[in-house]
């Protein structure tokens, strides 16, 4: 699903995945308390939006990106 988003938006965003068991420091930095969690960051790495929970769809990610002003290529 995330690969499809990366392909659709191209260089307008970077999709980065993290296994909180392997990178606890980064998980702590972004205060990941529940998984799955999608954290949308601006160009400076500052959190702009967060979605938490098991029901995340491509349509939901597109809607969140649209609210942030990010459009597909």
pLDDT over 80 (residue 28): yes
More confident residue, 12 or 55: 12
Domain count for the chain, please give it. 1
In this prediction, residues 2-31 reach a mean pLDDT of: 93
In this prediction, residues 17-23 reach a mean pLDDT of: 93
Query: Predicted confidence band at 45 (pLDDT cuts at 50, 70, 90)?
Result: confident
In a domain, 73, yes or no: no
CB distance 42 to 48 below 8 Å = yes
Query: Taking the model in full, what pTM does it have?
Result: 0.81
- CA-nearest of 19, 67, 10, 13 to 45 is 13
Q: Comparing 9-13, 31-35, 50-54, 67-71, which segment has the lowest mean pLDDT?
A: 50-54
Burial class (CB in 10 A: 0-12, 13-18, 19+), 61: buried
Residue numbers of the domain that contains 14 = 2-67
CB distance 38 to 61 below 8 Å = yes
């Amino acid at each position: 699903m995330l690969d499809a988003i990366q392909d659709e938006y191209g260089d307008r965003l970077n999709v980065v995945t993290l296994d909180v068991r392997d990178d606890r420091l980064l998980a702590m930095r972004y205060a990941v308390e529940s998984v799955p969690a999608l954290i949308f960051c601006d160009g400076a790495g500052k959190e702009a939006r967060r979605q938490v929970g098991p029901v995340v769809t491509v349509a939901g990610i597109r809607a969140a990106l649209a609210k942030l002003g990010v459009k597909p290529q």
